[in-house]
Amino acid sequence: MERLQKVIAQTGYCSRRKAEELIQGGHVEVNGKRITEMGVKVSFEDDITIDGNAINLKEDKVYYLLNKPRGIITSTNDEKNRKTVVDLIKETKRIYPVGRLDYDTTGVLLLTNDGELTNLLIHPSNNVEKVYIAKLKGIPTKEELIRLGKGVIIDGKKTSKSRAKIKKIDKKSNTSIVELVIHEGRNHQVKKMFQAIGYDVIKLKRESFASLTVNDIKSGEYRELSVKEVKRLYALVKQK
């Protein structure tokens, strides 16, 4: 038996916090009885509906690793009818991206219908490592990268400690390639961090996420995760 909000989240319908809001708002019924209080426990044999629509508790979990191209929205749908990352995956089950990448950012993106794993991977307390490669206008000094690593103020809040190092310098074009390793997932975080030390990002790629890479996947293409990879992700976040 598990708490109702956790079971709803595990189906991939929404996050656990959103599930709690739906319960408190009177949108959820269990075996025909409306539930409005937290703490109710259910099993995967119970009938759960949200606004009258049954949710599938026994849906097989799927996991896709996508090499996100530029110009694609990281969302399940878009009000402007722009192409989304979900449109790139040939899957009939309802899947959604784990975290977000900007419209013009490329690289590693995980998509799944496993709500439990999603919540664990994106929860700030689990400090999941994300590695970015950024092309900058300008060449940061060693001192500036040290300051970046200690944390900078973006949106009124200091970032957690990170690691940054220069991979390549082009003095002729006055550009540089910098690797940045972070453990947060704030809105436009990488671009804002570099802006905080005086540099604009020209191009940005997420090189890895929770040790997953897309080195063997072409831009816009994807593959399914192996059982071993899924178990490794669970082990990574549940040991913390």
Residue 19 is part of a domain; what is its CATH number?
3.10.290.10
Q: Are 57 and 11 spatial neighbours (Cβ–Cβ below 8 Å)?
A: yes
Q: Are residues 72 and 119 in the same domain?
A: yes
Question: Residue 118 — φ and ψ, nearest 5°?
Answer: -55, -50
Q: Which of 47, 60, 87, 102 is catalytic?
A: 102
Q: State the CATH number of the domain containing residue 183.
A: 3.30.70.1560
Final residue belonging to a domain, choices 37, 54, 71: 54
Q: What is the pLDDT of residue 239?
A: 63
102 is catalytic: yes
* Number of domains the chain is built from: 3
Q: What is the extent of the structural domain holding 91?
A: 63-124+212-238
Q: Are residues 217 and 105 in the same domain?
A: yes
Q: Are residues 203 and 220 in the same domain?
A: no
Q: Are residues 72 and 50 in the same domain?
A: no
Q: What is the pLDDT of residue 10?
A: 73
Q: What is the pLDDT of residue 76?
A: 87
Q: Are residues 137 and 188 in the same domain?
A: yes
Q: Are residues 83 and 102 in the same domain?
A: yes
Q: What is the pLDDT of residue 58?
A: 67
Q: Are residues 141 and 160 in the same domain?
A: yes
Q: What is the pTM of this model?
A: 0.79
Q: State the CATH number of the domain containing residue 103.
A: 3.30.70.580
**pLDDT tens by residue, 66-97:** 999 999 999 988 888 889 999 999 987 889 99
Q: Are residues 204 and 220 in the same domain?
A: no
Which residues does 236 contact at the CB level (< 8 Å), separation at least 6? 128, 210, 211
Q: Are residues 171 and 216 in the same domain?
A: no
Residue segments in the chain with a per-residue pLDDT below the cut of 50: none
Q: Are residues 181 and 222 in the same domain?
A: no
Q: Are residues 140 and 204 in the same domain?
A: yes
Q: What is the pLDDT of residue 240?
A: 54
Q: Are residues 48 and 81 in the same domain?
A: no
